[in-house]
Structure 1
Amino acid sequence: MTGADVLLLPGEPDPSVVRLMIFEVPAARALTRRQNNGDECVWCSAAEGLPPLCGPSAWRPHGCAPCRQIRVTYLRAYLAWKGHAQDCEPCRTEWCPDGWGLALAHGIAYEVAGKEEPVYCACGCPLSRTSRRLRPYVTDCLTGPRYSHTGPCTNPGAPASADEGTRR
């Protein structure tokens, strides 16, 4: 799959995207009462066409179709890039030309979703979303989109093992 494929995929998201959607919802304390009750979109406050976003039963966040699609595209791009990085040894230690298209698609989707710069890696290092060192965090237990980097860790507060953990 190419980066362009990721950005242009139509249709409903697969279960892995649906499972991550709740991590895209702002914290309940940052939302209005109407947004927390599912009466308004959690991203833009629209009040029509609001499918649920799979929150816990006591919390009912909803999102309008355009805002939901932006986050679906972002999550698809992240997961496609992560899938490539899991199977690509060069991606774990250096820049990979095969993964760069997926990284660019992720960067576009990241920006459209309104995510802020810099991207913080799991070790705390700040990186630009266009950095060739930025990588999706490759783990078996994904609780939300996370990032790592190649090369030495520049975060002085990171644990001694952070360098090794971020190269995955």
Structure 2
Amino acid sequence: MEIIGNLVVPVSIALIIIFGFCRKVPLFEAFTDGAKEGIVSMFSIAPSLIGLITAVSMLRASGFFEILTDLLSPVTSALGFPSEILPLALMRPVSGSGSFALLNDLFKSFSPDSFIGRTASVIAGSTETTFYAIAVYYGSVGIQKTGYTIPAALMSDFAGMVLAPLTIRLLGN
């Protein structure tokens, strides 16, 4: 099975090259045009990403998540949601790398096989980095008005977070 994983990228590249030759596509020109478009996209979304990363870093460093966790822990405990996971739940819609750092911390503190570890894993797997994705994808095509995208995406994230501990309880701890 490992050999398949090692061959996926080289075989994909070879197939792209073969397909390009068969269709008589100028491969190098197409590659450089794509690279140029990528750089333009990168510069158009960079301000959003820099602002997002800065805000997440400031919130984490300021202790905001710890204060909010302490404030909300009576409510989350009453709902059966482990308060230790609340920083992950708050970080996940904003930052993938930040939320995975928190997930790793939870694994170190409680083990991946604990109720907290399993619940955190379900949250990490069933939610999205909503604000990051919107900043990247909408920013790359120049959309400024997101309409119902953010409320719908956050409701989906919330559903994943609320259902995670219930799912772990139903499937057995």
Scaled by the length of structure 1, what TM-score is found? Answer: 0.26
Give the greater-gyration-radius structure (CA): 2
Larger fraction in strand = 1
